[in-house]
Amino acid sequence: MTTVANSVEQKKGFGATLWDWLTTVDHKKIGILYLIGGGFFFVLGGIEALMIRLQLLIPNNDFVSAGFFNELITMHGTTMIFLAAMPLLFGFMNFIMPLQIGARDVAFPFINSLGFWMFFLGGLFLNLSWFLDAAPDAGWTSYASLSIASPGHGIDFYAIGLQIAGAGTLMGGINFLITIINMRAPGMTYMRMPLFTWTTFIASALILFAFPPLTIGLFFLTFDRMFGANFFDHTMGGNTIIWEHIFWIFGHPEVYILILPAFGIFSEIFSTFSRKRLFGYSAMVFATVLIGFLGFMVWAHHMFTVGLGPTANAIFAVATMAIAVPTGVKIFNWLLTIWGGSIKITTPMLYALGFIPSFVMGGVTGVQQGAAPLDYQLHDSYFIVAHFHYVIVGGVVLGILAATHYWWPKMFGTMLSEKLGKVTFWFFFIGFHMTFFLQHFLGLMGMPRRVWTFMDGQGWNLFNAISTVGAILMGIATIVLIINIIITTAKNERIGNDPWEDGRTLEWAIPSPPPFYNFAQTPLVRGLDTYWIEKQEGHNGYTAAEPVTDIHMPNGSIIPFFMTLGLFIAGFGAMYRIEHSWGLAVLIFGLAFTFLMMAIRSVKDDLGFYVTKEQIRRMERGRN
């Protein structure tokens, strides 16, 4: 019974609270942990970006040294992709997706917690490179010839840190897949799933197929650098191009892993605030699946200039352009969702409206780069930097910011200030276009990507200066958002189930924040936009599929944290094995500790606990 009492809200000391978060297996708390972890790395990556832009503010600048600049760009890219954008999306997926399908948790709560800790400690491992040695400096793509030649331990931190974090992501993805396949509430057929759930599903499938190549590539790199292998060393019979292939076989699906959930977020927001059913729902689903498939067949468009030959280049160019078709389908469906709707311009809707032109611009430059002959001109220039920031910032980051405002009330029970939210939006939106729009032209004028500084008199000065000012505006936007969060939390004005009043999906039918068991009774789903249907029929809440029964819930566990800790320690051992005699011992100890934890998990029966009917009734009464 103690466990039940613990999970019900009550005042706790600091130690107990910390223990609670370290051991939690609740998908909602893990979602919040992902948001905190991802938010931390987002700020870190943002500071790195500002330092890059300050260095490029004026010609011949020496604000940072050339070597440090390389570390900055590498860590900025790696942090933003692996440790900020993806975990922030995972946070929303974790929190919201089970609520949308009427589930009480994800399929494997224990593995969910393991996935989070592996991401977080992997990210920490990577960032400890700043203090312990030098940070990795071969770009986020870490092309093999360069990364194998890089002295010091920087690249070792990259290989091992990403290995740990990547394994966590893979676990998370598989967990989401199984949750969606097996844990949908009665009546929630595939074609009634909200678009955010659908995109979570497809993005997870992409993770399932794309992360194993990354794992293999990183192992090859680790063995080459730390254990004397020669996978990428051509003087020893290896082949350096293989890294590029493996990396992009992972890398291109990765960009869709990021953008698809953002598409899902915007789909929810468009239909909510146009107060209309999503236009072309089934076409949207099909387009998502198709994008997922095609996403695996275009990786070599990152390698046109490698010299794959005209046939290969032509095939990959055509495949690349084909992706624009399902993407276009989506854009038109969003426009037609807004068309004729009763539109409410809230902060999330503002982000969604800003997203369409921004993302389309990124898509258009993408198709341009997909034309192989043109890409010979554009490759490795600032044009590329402009392209991927238009899709990643104009798509993914706007999506994350929109979701933050949209689902904040559901997650924390308070409403972020709309006024400050709009201030954030305008600073961010204007700053974003200021920073990246002119970079297209810098690229066309010949400014190469990843340069430490540039000479005066090439006509690049003004555009670079404007770009830096734009970056500062985005920094201000982030600060306003943080202030908004602090003020809202301090005020603590509680809101009801459906604070936007136009919620359509199941998460809006339950309290904000939801009780730890989510649904007192499993809901019955009677169509797309479940909660909207209920509201149309004058119901308040959802139709239950079962009487109130005892609810089975999992127990918390510290083992996931310890398992990851073992790997974290083993990583240092692998890295320092060569120059320090204690390295091997640490490597073995870390791995042994992880295996011990796995053994404990296997032999110790943990059957969870029950929340009884009486307790549920009492708690449900308490909130009305």
Residues in touch with another protein (CB under 8 A): 181, 205, 208-209, 239, 241-242, 245, 249, 293, 296-297, 300, 308-309, 312, 549-550, 610, 612
Instruction: Supply the minimum distance, in Å, between the C-beta of residue 159 and another protein.
Output: 22
Are the C-beta atoms of 506 and 523 separated by less than 8 Å?
Answer: yes
Among 111, 285, 393, 396, binds ligand HEM (CB under 6 A): 396
Residue count of the chain: 624
Instruction: Supply the minimum distance, in Å, between the C-beta of residue 404 and ligand HEM.
Output: 18
388 binds ligand HEM (CB under 6 A): yes
Residues 256-275 close enough to bind ligand HEM by CB under 6 A: 258-259
The smaller minimum CB distance to ligand HEM, of residues 255 and 570, is found at 255
Select the binding partner of residue 367 from another protein, ligand HEM, Cu ion, none (C-beta < 5 to 8 A, by kind).
ligand HEM
The smaller minimum CB distance to another protein, of residues 304 and 425, is found at 304
Select the binding partner of residue 507 from another protein, ligand HEM, Cu ion, none (C-beta < 5 to 8 A, by kind).
none
State the DSSP string of 568-594.
HHHHHHHHHTTT-THHHHHHHHHHHHH
Are the C-beta atoms of 543 and 506 separated by less than 8 Å?
Answer: no
State the DSSP string of 12-54.
--HHHHHHHHHH---HHHHHHHHHHHHHHHHHHHHHHHHHHHH
Select the binding partner of residue 366 from Cu ion, ligand HEM, another protein, none (C-beta < 5 to 8 A, by kind).
ligand HEM
The smaller minimum CB distance to Cu ion, of residues 91 and 366, is found at 366
The smaller minimum CB distance to Cu ion, of residues 48 and 375, is found at 375
Tokens of 217: 């590539």
Distance from C-alpha of 30 to C-alpha of 111, rounded to nearest angstrom: 11
Using CA atoms, how far residue 351 sits from 20, 361, 487, in Å, is: 35, 16, 21
Among 6, 23, 141, 612, binds ligand HEM (CB under 6 A): 141
For residues 211 to 250, the per-residue mask of contacts with Cu ion, x marking binding by CB under 5 A and - elsewhere, is ----------------------------------------
Select the binding partner of residue 549 from ligand HEM, Cu ion, another protein, none (C-beta < 5 to 8 A, by kind).
another protein
Q: Which helix (H) or strand (E) holds 552?
A: strand 551-553
Residues 297-336 close enough to bind ligand HEM by CB under 6 A: 301-302, 320, 323-324, 327
Distance from C-alpha of 571 to C-alpha of 164, rounded to nearest angstrom: 9
379 binds Cu ion (CB under 5 A): no
252 binds Cu ion (CB under 5 A): yes
Instruction: Supply the minimum distance, in Å, between the C-beta of residue 318 and Cu ion.
Output: 14
395 binds ligand HEM (CB under 6 A): yes
The smaller minimum CB distance to another protein, of residues 241 and 476, is found at 241
Select the binding partner of residue 324 from another protein, ligand HEM, Cu ion, none (C-beta < 5 to 8 A, by kind).
ligand HEM
Of 98, 100, 95, 31, the C-alpha closest to 509 is 100
Which burial class, exposed, middle or buried, applies to 2 when counting CB atoms under 10 A from its CB (0-12, 13-18, 19+)? exposed
- Four-residue CA torsion sign, 385, 390, 395, 399: positive
Residues 230-259 close enough to bind ligand HEM by CB under 6 A: 255, 258-259
Tokens of 60: 């011949």
Instruction: Supply the minimum distance, in Å, between the C-beta of residue 362 and ligand HEM.
Output: 6
The smaller minimum CB distance to another protein, of residues 287 and 570, is found at 287
Are the C-beta atoms of 103 and 518 separated by less than 8 Å?
Answer: yes
b vs e for 445-484, b when ≥16 Cβ sit within 10 Å of the residue's Cβ? Answer: eebebeebebeeeeebeebbbebbebbbbbbebbebbeeb
Which segments of 78-160 are extended strands (E)? none
Are the C-beta atoms of 91 and 41 separated by less than 8 Å?
Answer: no
Tokens of 105: 């948790």
Closest residue to ligand HEM using C-beta atoms: 366
Instruction: Supply the minimum distance, in Å, between the C-beta of residue 78 and Cu ion.
Output: 17
Distance from C-alpha of 70 to C-alpha of 135, rounded to nearest angstrom: 9
Query: Segment contacting ligand HEM (CB under 6 A): 96-104, 165-173, 197-205, 391-399?
Result: 391-399
The smaller minimum CB distance to ligand HEM, of residues 388 and 517, is found at 388
Select the binding partner of residue 610 from ligand HEM, Cu ion, another protein, none (C-beta < 5 to 8 A, by kind).
another protein
The smaller minimum CB distance to ligand HEM, of residues 124 and 367, is found at 367
- φ, ψ at 250 (rounded to 5°): -80, -45
Instruction: Supply the minimum distance, in Å, between the C-beta of residue 550 and another protein.
Output: 5
Using CA atoms, how far residue 418 sits from 406, 411, 483, 504, in Å, is: 11, 17, 13, 20
SS3 534: helix
For residues 361 to 380, the per-residue mask of contacts with ligand HEM, x marking binding by CB under 6 A and - elsewhere, is --x--xx-xx----x--xx-
The smaller minimum CB distance to another protein, of residues 68 and 610, is found at 610
Cα-Cα end-to-end distance for the chain: 24
Which residues would be at the binding site for ligand HEM (CB under 6 A)? Answer: 141, 255, 258-259, 301-302, 320, 323-324, 327, 363, 366-367, 369-370, 375, 378-379, 384, 387-388, 391-392, 395-396
Which residues would be at the binding site for Cu ion (CB under 5 A)? Answer: 252
